[in-house]
Amino acid sequence: MIYRILFSAFVLIVIAFSCKKSVSGIDGVFLESEPYILDYGNTLAAPNLPADNPLTKAKVQLGRMLFYEKSLSGDNSMSCASCHNQANAFSDINQFSIGIDGLPGGRQAMAIVNMAWNSNGFFWDGRAATLREQSLKPIQDVLEMHETLPNVVVKLSAKTIYKDQFKRAFGTEEITSEKMSLAMEAFMFTLVSGNSKYDRFLAGLASLTPSEEHGRQLFFAEYNPGFPNLSGADCAHCHSGSNFENDQYMNNGLDIDANMLDDGYMNVTLNASDKAKFKVPTLRNIEVTFPYMHDGRLTTLEEVVDHYNTGIQSSSTVDPAILNTQFSGLMLNAQDKIDLVNFLKTLTDHSFLTDQRFSSPF
């Protein structure tokens, strides 16, 4: 009798597990709607998240599913993750990402890192005021995923896995593009990087090599042409604070006026003084987010340092502090440039690049 009871219990467990997998399709989809506690380490300040989109486990999981969902594209072949690879800090190593129709985009895909600390618009030109607004634009872009939001809603509504998860996240099975954007925003807010070697150095848990330390000093020291031995690279002028960015749009001297092919922030503000200004990106994980600049014209960190050292071009909208270095350069010698690059590599957060919480749930 005891064996019959145990066998019956085993059969019920197997049936229950099989049913769960057939409905969910992925592990971890059955999450309760309890708060998601954001872990931002010891060096980042608490972010100011939107009050109308509180983080919950179910909503973050839904956003994670949508981020990796290929049904968001017109031919079901491309997801957000297709152009935002975790190993590259959710950026694309191609100069321009290729959409479903084989057409290249016009700008280099930005890294998705510490979005919770950005409040002054998204994309290189700031055309999306919020992260939730940003999340829907690539879906509708004819050069990227080339799909419509109504079609996406239809496709997702045909899948039990999504109806179930939308209900867990929002209390109803109804799928809308607004709910999609809130879920994807929630997931992207959780993509927090704050465990680099430099973070551990600040916490007293790691030591910098002599080269990295000299690079750190150059990074934070101001440009001072009157005292070359004391002059630094002045990187913190733009890449400041714990997130190594200033949430602003700036012209960093890539082109003279006649060669400006991209109006940048001016497309949004319609102000000529914003021509060729682009979002200042975080330098966290900069080692793996190549190529660099809004158009991916520079392929290595060494080229980036060379640009700021001796390659600044004068234009009507270039930042004055950057323009100041045009004639004398930053006065960095060969070893200085090596050391600066070595310091920038200490901003790589290897745990972020491999964190299973951010990987595909499928």
Distance of CA 44 to the CA centre of its chain: 16
Look up 144 and say whether it is catalytic: yes
CA distance 292 to 301: 8
Token pair belonging to 234: 């002045």
Annotated catalytic residue within 34, 69, 144, 178:
144
Indicate the Cα dihedral angle 237, 253, 275, 294, nearest 10°.
-90
Token pair belonging to 293: 């600049």
CA distance 39 to 293: 29
Beta strands in the chain, from DSSP E residues, in sequence order: 249-250, 278-279
Phi-psi region of 132 (alpha: psi -120 to 50; beta: other; left: phi over 0): alpha
Indicate the Cα dihedral angle 81, 82, 87, 92, nearest 10°.
-120
**Active site (catalytic) residues:** 144
